[in-house]
Amino acid sequence: MPKNANQFWTDVDLAKLAKLMKKYPVGTPDRWEIIADVLERLPSEVTKMAKKIKDNAYMVRLSLFEFEDFNSRMDISGAS
């Protein structure tokens, strides 16, 4: 079971998911499995939350400053 499986999604988690969705666009083989692996979550919960983000059911509430700071520190390069 992944470390973060079935845990609450924080704003940082949502921002990371959104960034990973851009890094691995539609058509990427095993897209959701890769993203789930990076987030240490189940693919089913990642796809469910991605749909909510797409449908604007969830908003990432980071100020521009916080997002830029977070963005500069976030390392998602470890995924293959």
- Tell me the residue type at 79: A
Q: In the chain, what are the domain boundaries? A: 11-73
Token pair listed for 17: 């998911």
Phi, psi for residue 69 in degrees, rounded to 5:
-65, -45
What's the chain's length in residues?
80
* Contact (CB, 8 A) for 50 and 4: no
pLDDT tens for 54-70 read 876 555 554 444 555 55
pTM of the predicted structure, to 2 decimals: 0.71
The 10s digit of each residue's pLDDT in 5-56 is 999 999 889 989 989 999 999 999 999 999 999 999 999 999 999 988 887 6
Q: Which residue has the tokens 């609450």?
A: 8
- Superfamily of domain 11-73, CATH level 4: Homeodomain-like (1.10.10.60)
Contacting residues for 73 by C-beta, under 8 A, at least 6 apart: none
